[in-house]
Amino acid sequence: MKRRQRVWPVVVVLTVISWTLAGCTPTHGKLAPFVPTPQGVVETMLKLAEVGPGDVVYDLGSGDGRIVITAARMFGAKGVGFEIDEALIQGAQDSARRAGVSHLVEFRNEDLMTVDLSPATVVTLYLVQDANLRLRPRLLSQLRPGARVVSHDYTMEDWAPSRVERVRELGTLHDDHTIYLWRIGAGSPRP
């Protein structure tokens, strides 16, 4: 019987090389490359955060807009995606129109490190670890008690999550995904 070789180390190396060639290293000031969150992970993130019609979901580094579009389509929430790539913003706006949720979502060409987070009840992230840590003081100081922060694959170091969920999504950059949920409140660290 022929043994299957693991190819994920090769995929990771090639991904890092492509991110570097695209200028997505921390030395170039980018907080994350555009890597779409798999749809099953998106839905799990939103369910874990208990998103509902009364929520305002901010997706920081929204890429193709799938998180806020899904929040509006599946849960009736309003959403705002923040993205610096204008082509991705245009594609997200087109996707929102096709999904019939353009009245609930918007996409802004804005640096996520300068966004006023205070209107959000849920913030979603799929950024590199360093970006999460740079955002953490702003999340803690600007979000109201009860707001939720959900991150795909990256922690906030010593800020213990309220919940952690693992999702297996085959055929993606990597098959196993971890989702972290934090709630702003009494147990949150100081900014």
The residue extents of the domains of the chain are: 33-183
Which pLDDT belongs to residue 31? 66
pLDDT at 23: 37
pTM of the model: 0.82
> If the chain, 191 residues long, is cut into consecutive pieces of 10 residues, what is the mean pLDDT of each piece?
42 38 40 82 97 98 96 98 96 98 97 95 94 95 97 93 90 80 86 76
Q: Is domain 33-183 given the CATH code 1.10.3720.10 in the classification?
A: no
pLDDT of residue 108: 97
Residue 189 phi, psi (nearest 5):
-70, 165
pLDDT of amino acid 110: 94
